Amino acid sequence: MNQERTAGAQRRRPVQKRSVERFERLLDACAEVLEEAGLVALTTKEVARRAEVPIGTLYQFFSDKEGLIGALAARNLELFVARVAARLERERPGDIPDAVDAAVDEFVTMRRTITGFGVVDFGAAGQDHVLDPALDNNTAVAGRLRELATALFGVRDDAELEIALRVALECADGVLNLAFRADLQGDPQLIAECKRVLTSYLNDRVRSLRAG
């Protein structure tokens, strides 16, 4: 198995409070190393040292550093979905531009404020199956967003919707990565262009899905 392109194993999810705290400390430490030194410098030994837990404790939860990366990406995704869902509930957007604004703004805010998010958001460079060994990263993310999309757009949860979300995510990835290469805080003009592209594409696709 090519560990550079597939998800590492997470051995188990903790249940007891003390174990949950250690698990979260390990993910926080992983994010710190990524923020400071990047993906290449990440080692299980350094993560355990920063989290102040024995290396054996780390291996109770994760088989390797790829497992750490996968768990961190999953935590980031859950936080993103929760933030978008909360904003949509709070603002109750009436159209696709408002929904796109909400999703892009929450991603940009996380990119600016969440430690390590610029290195591992919902995936990692050169690792296509971080969240799920059977799915590429954006397909896995699209799967988590489908429930929100069906309720918001008034369309069926089917294969065509999944494809539309995957295409939208690929577009967003490309333009937002460009925005943060141009400016460490995200180039405002490129972020605006990202919203423009997504709004135009999703308006067209949602009309088609509703008509179908």
Q: Using an 8 Å Cβ cutoff, are 202 and 165 in contact?
A: no
Tokens representing 188 are 């405002």
Distances (CA, A) of 52 to 48, 56, 75, 98, 106: 6, 12, 21, 43, 31
Q: Which residues pair with 135 in a beta bridge?
A: 132
For the chain, which residues make up each domain, given as ranges?
17-211
Half-sphere exposure for 100 (CA within 13 Å, toward CB): 22
pLDDT at 198 over 60: yes
Cα–Cα distance for residue pair 5/133, rounded to 1 Å: 9
Torsion of CA 180, 182, 188, 194, to 10 degrees: -70
Give the model confidence (pLDDT) of 78-95 as tens digits.
999 999 999 998 988 778
Q: What is the 8-class DSSP label of residue 155? A: -
Q: What is the 3-state secondary structure (H, E, C) of 84-126?
A: HHHHHHHHCCCCHHHHHHHHHHHHHHHHHHCCCCCCCCCCECC
Tokens representing 28 are 């926080």
- The sign of the torsion formed by the CA atoms of 143, 149, 150, 156 equals negative
Distances (CA, A) of 186 to 114, 138, 189: 14, 21, 9
pLDDT at 199 over 70: yes
Cα–Cα distance for residue pair 43/103, rounded to 1 Å: 32
**Per-chain mean pLDDT for the chain:** 91
Cα–Cα distance for residue pair 96/143, rounded to 1 Å: 19
Give the model confidence (pLDDT) of 107-165 as tens digits.
999 999 999 999 999 999 889 899 999 999 999 999 999 988 998 888 999 999 999 99
pLDDT at 1 over 60: no
Residue 24, H or E segment: helix 17-37
Query: What residues contact 80, with CB distance under 8 A and at least 6 apart?
Result: 106, 107, 110, 122
The domain made up of 17-211 is a member of CATH 3.10.20.30: no
Distances (CA, A) of 62 to 16, 69, 124: 17, 10, 17
